[in-house]
Structure 1
Amino acid sequence: MSIQHQIRSQAGARAASTLRWGLGHALPRAAIRGSSKRGDLHGRLIEASDEAETFALFDQIRAGGPLHRARFAYVTATQPVVKEVLTSPDMRTGIDFGPGGPLAKVSGWAFRSAPLGPLTPPSLLVTEPPDHTRYRKLVTRVFSVKAVQGLRERTQQIADELLDGLDPTRPVDLVEAYCSQLPVTVIAEILGVPREDQHRVLRFGTGAAPSLDLGLSWSVFRRVESSLIEFDRWLEQHIEKVRREPGDDLLSQLVTAHDDGEVLSDAELKSTAGLVLAAGFETTVNLLGNGIRLLHDHPDQLAVLREDPAVWPNAVDEALRHDPPVLLTGRMASRDTEIAGERVPRGSMITTLLAGANRDPEVFADPARFDVTRANAGDHVSFSSGRHYCLGAALARMEGEVGLRTIFERFPDLRLEPGATRRPTRILRGYATLPATLAP
């Protein structure tokens, strides 16, 4: 390749990256900030940095009707409507700019060179049937309830090993030392990732997490894309190694998987494996951190669990309901349709507030109360609903139960210290740091 060709190629790549940021973040951020200043509830919600304000906005949005019409999208925090949107065949994930229009052509050019990530096709998060059905079928069997129960003993062993390695006489950041290490070790073993590469997987997942957010700054956007590019290169090398030396792990099965005689393409394979790898631990890190905080701050509920350990599975669901790892998700109407009795035109966006639906007072009595014995705690929508229901829900629940129960059994006097910080991401909700003293 000539130097001139390299220069043109690099310039084109920079232009495409800049356009992706402009369309996906700069313009939406400016619009959201403007609408927020004018009092638009949707804009205020996205801009909100205070948790109390966020939950208060859920109530205001719900008070505006089951399907609140905001400046740029419909918004709902009413659980039956959230479920209706997520299960509707007329709603799709991703954004459709329409067939052949100028914006479609420009965005098509810009996003064609985007690094593979959770929101770029052929990711499971933004594909619809029949492709979505095909990809999901290939990995579903590994995350079935039966398969996950087979992983329980190994998960318990990993939790014990991690806690054995902690010095109870020294302060520790539980996110770094435990909440992140437990799920990343489990999912890495499922995908056949060598132990020496697990720190890379953790770094990639953390680096890519903001990609789910809207309105990233240029510097954050560039860091996210750089992380995705680095992850893509590593994953490609890892897949080639698995092809040469297949094992009995999920990735080896995916590499050789046939679906009605059709093999996954390289892009499909990398996208599916990458999403399973990153999504397989990112939200569980948040579940563990949020759960530790909740149980620490509600010693009466922890006492219930110590009295009756059989309540632990329900406690995990209550933690998922009360402080979910994911704030919201969006859908676009693929055709004119009706939601909650209201006409929704094709192309309309609907933001479903998962955390808001989890506090719908028509579904959950006294929804702000954390109650590990809540009879319908499992009715939350923290794992979404419909065809995009979280593939790893059973795995997350099992890891949450093992991880939370084990740390509180091992260190009954665990004390969280001042200085905990929340993650800067808006969609994913969890702790970046959780300083603790394990023993008096």
Structure 2
Amino acid sequence: MKAVVEQRESDPSALKPAELGLRLQLIQGNQWLCAINDDPYARVLRGFEDDPYPLYERLRHTGPLVPSSVGRWVTGHHEQATELLAHPEFGPVHAGVPRSPLRVIPFDEDVVHAAPSSIDRLGELAAAAFERAVDGLTGEVDLIAAFAARIPADVLAETFQLPSSWLAERVADTSIATDASLCPQRLTATRRMFHAIGELRERLADPGAVLLAVAGSCVATTLLGNALHVLLGGQDHWTKLAEDPARAPRVVDEALRHDSPIQLHALIARTGLTFAGAKVAAGDQVIVGVGGANRDPALHVDPARFEPDREAGPLLPGAPYDKVLPFARAVAETVLPMLAKRFPALHRTGFALRRRRAPVTRQLLRLPAGTDPREEAR
């Protein structure tokens, strides 16, 4: 760990491959050791279980703010999560504090604090991107590659006046960035991510546009994937959406609550204070378990059930993800009802595949589905 501590003031993207690889290995090893010693937050980070929600439940039962052996405080309670996200003494991990060896690969500070401009005609652009995505779509398809990942990147390419294939490649290479902030990724993928972010900076110039390309596309893709996964889960949610497109905002709200595209949100304590009975020192990192807090039974009846007609709204994460949620929400509210109307018999044809090393997003890599009801007979 000494080598990592000595690099705390270093820009990770400027490290030599061997130094960066050592940093990633040491942090991963520390997280793994904590996980095998049954630290629930470390187990979430390392992906020891496919379903993290029982681990969030363990954290809730332990207390309102739980210390983790990986050096952080964690909450899975809705009340404390809401207070933390609004608290003036807690802010983004990168808000003018010394670099910490526990931060893994953070977003650049100017990107974190950037404010993306609103996109003119966003609904119109999303609808046009939908038509291009579904043109000729038939038989069995992967809804992530063909739909959820393609449409947000297509909208941003049109907005930024960039070649869609060029931007799609950079979006794919930076799709690990959100998870990389807390969970070490493979060295080759991390280096591709740095290179792609550098190229986006050169072409886009505006940090707010970079934030949309990196975090906005990831949140939008994950939101669409999670929504499709549960909507096509065997109940009548898809049929109801096809019959009543006006349900789309409620469906999207519930998708944000039921399986948030941002499961974990890291904050830093700007000063020493007592919070939820715990003495938090200045510089301590506090993790808001957004995924667990959204399923807090103190707020929701049967919280694991997907129910778009719930009254309570979702718990939204703080900066920088709250800045890109309007983009993700608008895209999802536009294209989900269009897909349901175009393919009312759409159905899952196999198991979904989620990416490993993705504790923040639980990012879906593959979601096989059939556009023809005859596919069910195969």
C-alpha distance 195-119 of structure 1, shift in aligned 2 (>3 A): closer
Aligned residue type for 1:32: Q
**Secondary structure at 1:165's aligned position in 2?**
coil
The partner residue of 2:225 within 273, 289, 307 is 289
Any unmatched runs of 5+ in structure 2?
1-12
* Alignment-derived partner of residue 119 in structure 1: 107
Partners of 1:430 and 1:82 lie apart in 2 by: 22
Choose 227-236 or 425-434, whichever is displaced more. Answer: 227-236
Q: For the Cα contact (< 8 Å) 1:417–1:436, is it kept in 2?
A: yes
Partners of 2:368 and 2:61 lie apart in 1 by: 38
2:337 counterpart of 1:405 = yes
Q: For the Cα contact (< 8 Å) 1:119–1:211, is it kept in 2?
A: no
* Alignment-derived partner of residue 198 in structure 2: 232
2:305 counterpart of 1:305 = no
- What's the CA shift for 1:337? 1.5
Give a deviation string over 1:61-116, Cα, whole Å, max 9, x none: 001111112222211000121122222222232268977xxx98xx7xxx9xx9xx
* Alignment-derived partner of residue 158 in structure 2: 189
* Alignment-derived partner of residue 370 in structure 2: 437
- What's the CA shift for 1:226? 2.9
* Alignment-derived partner of residue 59 in structure 1: 57
- What's the CA shift for 1:48? 3.2
Choose 224-233 or 285-294, whichever is displaced more. Answer: 224-233
- What's the CA shift for 1:361? 0.8
Counting only pairs closer than 5 Å after superposition, residues 176-215 of structure 1 correspond to structure 2 as 176-206=145-175, 208=177, 210-215=179-184
Structure in which a larger fraction of residues adopt helix: 1
C-alpha distance 396-19 of structure 1, shift in aligned 2 (>3 A): same
* Alignment-derived partner of residue 83 in structure 1: 82
- What's the CA shift for 1:221? 2.4
* Alignment-derived partner of residue 396 in structure 1: 328
Any unmatched runs of 5+ in structure 1?
1-12, 125-131, 240-268
TM-score (norm: length of structure 1) = 0.74
* Alignment-derived partner of residue 10 in structure 2: none
Partners of 1:67 and 1:310 lie apart in 2 by: 39
Choose 410-419 or 26-35, whichever is displaced more. Answer: 26-35
* Alignment-derived partner of residue 367 in structure 1: 303
Partners of 2:177 and 2:266 lie apart in 1 by: 19
* Alignment-derived partner of residue 36 in structure 2: 37
- What's the CA shift for 1:233? 3.4
Give a deviation string over 1:288-323, Cα, whole Å, max 9, x none: 111111011142223433443322211111111111
Aligned residue type for 2:157: A
C-alpha distance 307-414 of structure 1, shift in aligned 2 (>3 A): closer
The partner residue of 1:164 within 119, 135, 153 is 135
Q: For the Cα contact (< 8 Å) 1:118–1:275, is it kept in 2?
A: no
Partners of 2:329 and 2:15 lie apart in 1 by: 43
Partners of 2:370 and 2:299 lie apart in 1 by: 37
- What's the CA shift for 1:185? 0.8
Aligned residue type for 2:27: P
Q: For the Cα contact (< 8 Å) 1:280–1:392, is it kept in 2?
A: yes
C-alpha distance 186-272 of structure 1, shift in aligned 2 (>3 A): same
Give a deviation string over 1:327-350, Cα, whole Å, max 9, x none: 201112121012224321112221
Aligned residue type for 2:190: V
- What's the CA shift for 1:400? 0.9
Q: For the Cα contact (< 8 Å) 1:334–1:346, is it kept in 2?
A: yes
Superposition RMSD in Å: 2.8
Give a deviation string over 1:31-75, Cα, whole Å, max 9, x none: 2222222222222222234333x1111111001111112222211
Q: For the Cα contact (< 8 Å) 1:41–1:61, is it kept in 2?
A: yes
Q: For the Cα contact (< 8 Å) 1:318–1:372, is it kept in 2?
A: yes
**Secondary structure at 1:39's aligned position in 2?**
coil
Sequence identity (%) = 26
Q: For the Cα contact (< 8 Å) 1:287–1:430, is it kept in 2?
A: no
Aligned residue type for 1:407: L
C-alpha distance 87-388 of structure 1, shift in aligned 2 (>3 A): farther
C-alpha distance 41-198 of structure 1, shift in aligned 2 (>3 A): closer
**Secondary structure at 1:162's aligned position in 2?**
helix
2:250 counterpart of 1:314 = yes
- What's the CA shift for 1:389? 5.2
**Secondary structure at 1:175's aligned position in 2?**
helix
How many residues end up aligned between the 2 structures?
A: 358
C-alpha distance 226-389 of structure 1, shift in aligned 2 (>3 A): closer
The partner residue of 1:358 within 273, 281, 294 is 294
Partners of 1:305 and 1:97 lie apart in 2 by: 45
Partners of 1:333 and 1:20 lie apart in 2 by: 27
Partners of 2:85 and 2:340 lie apart in 1 by: 36
Partners of 1:40 and 1:197 lie apart in 2 by: 41
